[in-house]
Chains A and B, each alone.
Chain A
């Protein structure tokens, strides 16, 4: 038991039990949520860089009319790869990575729920991303847009295996995202520190919880879409063939039923990050905790009522258009509540304009602009005019980059000290923010005008007599400014990782539990599990942490608590490291990649998966066996 031991002895026992030993094999077998989250983060940022380079390639091609740098086929692959990479391999994984890292620490537990599933989910998305990018290197990348509309992606027009590769990459990301979503829900519901009742859950955790529920409800749609697409292509089902009773619009309905909530899968964690950063740097508790939680939940619910606004130009019944216009505008209400709560917190506090807060302010500005153009395109007559133009490109970049990347970068500056034990540079951070904010607005704001001037999106070039050349050149040059901001950011990350100033446990004097442990946290997270009596326990008790005793130290134990009041209910054992999730992911990947070519891969591929699952779940004795 952990009582009766002095701190050093306790730490030694806990390290022995929880730490991942050195070596490649152990690295593959680890189930430590922090290690897995760091892998997710690094992988996601590598994909951000790759996706960003593709954007630069597109901007070089579009910088002048009738450029011949990229041919149409390669351009189609590049814009498909850019969208698919950014949405499926960067935006969702990076938010889930932040959840995997932060949620267990913020709720005061020692590991995420189902840690082996967590390890499996990482290997799965890594292989999915590699599949997509290897296909690109082999000139076989999907070329049908990140939305893969049929019939262009169907068997009639989608040549070769390009659309199949896209569809299976989607399946990889679904598997990963759904697994992580369940882990987050169960960690929040069942592993919160004693006393962390629903009204004491940190706002970031609330936002991650709502995000997880959106994933759970929305991802089956894209799973259905990708599976039926590959079935149409591989075994000739007829879901999207109008000649046999199928319907191409069915694809759009199913895709956007996922695709629109996807925006909130990305935005809600960002809103949680913004809430946390605003409170910490305003030096006061957040204004409107309950309205913010309600706004998160309302956003999650309303997110499912908006998908048709992506389809206003396909000719739907007027009544439907009216309903979806209203619901698209209604989502501005919870978004407005969030923004007013953040502004009120800043107004009532004593804000310190450090880099994380600068990024959040940048987020508020850009997201408001994106939100306003969102209300514009929610109107059917306006959307009909601008739908396939650069106006929409500008709008969704304002929403996605403004709504997710700005707060994410702020969050990296904010939690980097916790993750690495080292501070990032305030000076470089301000430079990075300035360049990114300026570069972003100079790149994307003119796209509104370009769209109003009629430039269609997804075209690889345009004629010199059209009035778009000057703006395009300006946008391409501005994109380089944006890139330079990211270069400064990544230099700062690498510099800080190697030789940043030591951070100490709580460099920002924040109030939530992750700052109650050392930076970076030890393998076991907390020496003793905290007991919580406030929303920001470290602000209420800055020098002393109330803790539990009575957990065993000779095995991995954590506390399971009740859903509402977080009353301790049981001592659960947390799974040990295992290589089997890695092998299971490899087996799953072989099956999924094989099924691009033959349906028999599903049959034969199930056998190695079954073998690896047996290894995964093989009982080695539980705490109860020997008690």
Chain B
């Protein structure tokens, strides 16, 4: 078959950012998968709640302090996260490097109160279905925090290397910010379920 050249793409950038980047869509795809998982876990929480004569089963409502502290820490990380996103869009290398160090610390910080959240449930995972689902919800979210923390640490190292200052890596930083936003947003309904629904 003969070919007829009708379009020259040589002037296109070497990597798209934001919605122009396939990696951004890939991140969205995985957030959709994990979001479906969280939604399902919440549905199961309410399913078990609906068939239980008392909720929580054989346990007082969880203590609020650790979970609320974690929630505040997560919410506090929104502003620096947005700033890093903007700096990545502007390809401001120095600011991105500083921002990623800050975000590494801010993403590690919630793990401290998270350690205290498990005992704050007043129930073990194997005591009853209530214990099983709240531990699972906490476990799922902890996995997400740890995953994104590792991602941020790796990215921080990368941005300090010779590979840092290019469009692809700034795109990675954008995607990382997007994912952290997801980690925060996913927590809010979990927080309501775990800490406030038992108080209804």
User: Which A residues are within 8 Å of any B CB, using their own CB?
Assistant: 1, 3, 113-114, 178, 181-182, 185-186, 189-191, 194, 216-217, 219-221, 223-224, 228, 231, 235-239, 241, 244-247, 250, 253-254, 257, 505, 516, 527-529, 531, 543-551, 559-560, 562-563, 568-573, 610, 614, 617, 619, 621-625, 627
Contact = CB atoms under 8 A, between A and B. Distances in A.
Interface residues of B, number: 57
A250 B52 contact: no
Contacts of B33: 178, 182, 216, 219-220
Contacts of A219: 33
A571 B22 contact: no
Contact of B10 (A1, A220, A238, A257): A1
Given A220-B36, A547-B4, 13 more contacts: A220-B37, A246-B132, A505-B1, A545-B3, A547-B7, A548-B9, A549-B9, A568-B7, A569-B12, A570-B13, A571-B12, A617-B154, A625-B166
Contacts of B132: 228, 231, 237-239, 246
Contact of A190 (B25, B41, B48): B25
B10 A549 contact: yes
Interface stretch (B74-82, B109-117, B121-129): B121-129
A627 B168 CA distance: 13
A569 B20 contact: yes
Interface centre among B41, B47, B132 (most CB of A within 10 A): B132
Nearest to B20: A569
A527 B22 CA distance: 22
| Shortest beta-carbon contacts, A-B, top 7 | A550-B10, A624-B166, A245-B129, A570-B16, A182-B29, A237-B132, A220-B37
A247 B51 contact: yes
Contacts of B12: 550, 559, 568-571
Contacts of A224: 37, 40-41, 44
A221 B47 CA distance: 14
Given A245-B130, A624-B14, A560 B8 contact: no
Given A220-B37, A528-B3, A622-B166, A550 B128 contact: no
A570 B21 contact: yes
A244 B9 contact: no
A253 B50 CA distance: 14
23 contacts: A1-B10, A3-B10, A113-B25, A194-B7, A216-B29, A220-B34, A228-B132, A237-B125, A237-B132, A237-B135, A239-B132, A245-B57, A245-B130, A247-B47, A257-B40, A546-B6, A560-B16, A570-B12, A570-B13, A572-B14, A619-B161, A624-B166, A624-B168
Interface string B160-188: 01110011100000000000000000000
A546 B7 CA distance: 8
B199 interface: no
A216 B36 contact: yes
Nearest to B47: A250
Contacts of B6: 531, 546-548
A244 B26 CA distance: 40
A246 B7 contact: no
Contacts of B192: none
A233 to B, nearest CB: 12
A545 B20 CA distance: 26
A549 B8 contact: yes
A610 B163 CA distance: 21
A185 B23 CA distance: 12
Contacts of B136: 228, 231, 237
B47 to A, nearest CB: 6
B5 A547 contact: yes
Contact of A239 (B9, B129, B168): B129
B29 A181 contact: yes
Contacts of B10: 1, 3, 549-551
A563 B37 CA distance: 26
A551 B26 contact: no
A157 B158 CA distance: 51
Given A186-B29, A624-B166, A528 B22 contact: no
A181 B26 CA distance: 10
A318 B190 CA distance: 31
Given A547-B6, A549-B10, A560 B21 contact: yes
